[in-house]
Amino acid sequence: MFMRVQVVFTALLALSAIACNRASDRREFTLQGQVLSIDPAKKYVTVKHEEITGFMPAMTMAYEVKDEKVLEGLKPGDLVKATLVVISNGAYLSLILKVGEAPLEKPPAEAAMPSASSGFELLKPGEAVPDARFVDQDGKTRHFGEFKGSRVALTFIYTKCPLPTFCPLMDRHFAAIQKTIKADPSLSAVHLVTVSFDPATDTPPVLKRHAKTLDADLTRWTFLTGDRDEIDQFGARFGVSVSRALNDARDITHNLRTAIINADGTLAKVYIGNDWTPDQVVADLKGTGVGTGGTGVGR
């Protein structure tokens, strides 16, 4: 009888520990800013907000809401106070309270486009990817053309990105892809490339430490930085939009783009945003051939 009670008590302790761990993964922050745009169908609201002390600098970001009712009555220009919930693999706004109104500084569509992208046309499937110059995690100068001969999965991040559903999600997805390609001989010619668009912070030593945290195999996964303008121009060809506040270099507003590049250096496919899975990319990498590929980029 004593043994049975002890087993039950031990099980309850284990469940309690799990519950505590789950609870500790949840953090809440107060966010104050201005609504720039709303997408009720996708349950997203874009907010230009002040610094969240101890978590992230002032930033413009599209945030998810779990319930579209939270967005009812809101419109671009509204000043809001919201609760940002951050969990281990995501973030969302659980409460949004309107506290005022103010004219928008510029239309949301204009604010979303970086000045660096002007005059650079988006690459189309089958077009050659520019042979841009970078510096890798070892401080070695690299040209993108060096990856010819390998099928490449390319993504763009910066290491200080605070939200789990943005750059950290790209890191997790690429780590999962790396695990798959290492175990599948048919993917032995695949190479992963991560480009940081924050070279001021993401120096080669920083990228090397970042690679280590991801358990990256640097024979299969390369991290690149370089000249900021050259990176912006390169990323713009894939539809990457990056803008930086003049008064705070940490204030980086960006979208997400991930691409598959053929072994001959031509574009095969671009994934928009974070609505893709490692399995989808692996399947496309297996089907990638010269001059083939899925959808092109969109704005």
Query: Domain map of the chain by residue range?
Result: 27-110, 114-287
Share of the chain above pLDDT 90, in %: 56
> What is the Cα–Cα distance from 200 to 244, expressed in whole angstroms?
12
Whether 125 contacts 294, CB under 8 Å: yes
Pull the structure tokens for residue 173: 């997805």
Residue 3, pLDDT score: 40
Q: Which backbone phi and psi does 44 adopt, to 5 degrees?
A: -130, 145
Domain range 27-110, CATH class: mainly beta
Instruction: Flag whether pLDDT at 67 surpasses 90.
Output: no
Mean pLDDT, range 101-115, rounded to an integer: 59
Query: Rounded distance, CA 152 to CA 192, Å?
Result: 6
How far apart, in whole angstroms, are the C-alpha atoms of residue 246 and residue 208? 28
- pLDDT, mean of residues 126-144: 97
Mean per-residue pLDDT of the chain: 83
In the predicted structure, residue 136 carries a pLDDT above the cut 80:
yes
- pLDDT tops 70 at residue 160: yes
Q: Confirm whether 27-110 and 114-287 share one CATH topology.
A: no
Is a pLDDT exceeding 70 seen at residue 193? yes
Q: Per the CATH hierarchy, to which homologous superfamily does domain 114-287 belong?
A: Glutaredoxin (3.40.30.10)
Say how many residues make up the chain.
299
Res 229 pLDDT > 50: yes
What confidence score (pLDDT) does residue 27 get? 86
Instruction: Please name the residue ranges forming H helices in the chain.
Output: 2-24, 108-112, 167-183, 204-213, 228-236, 278-287
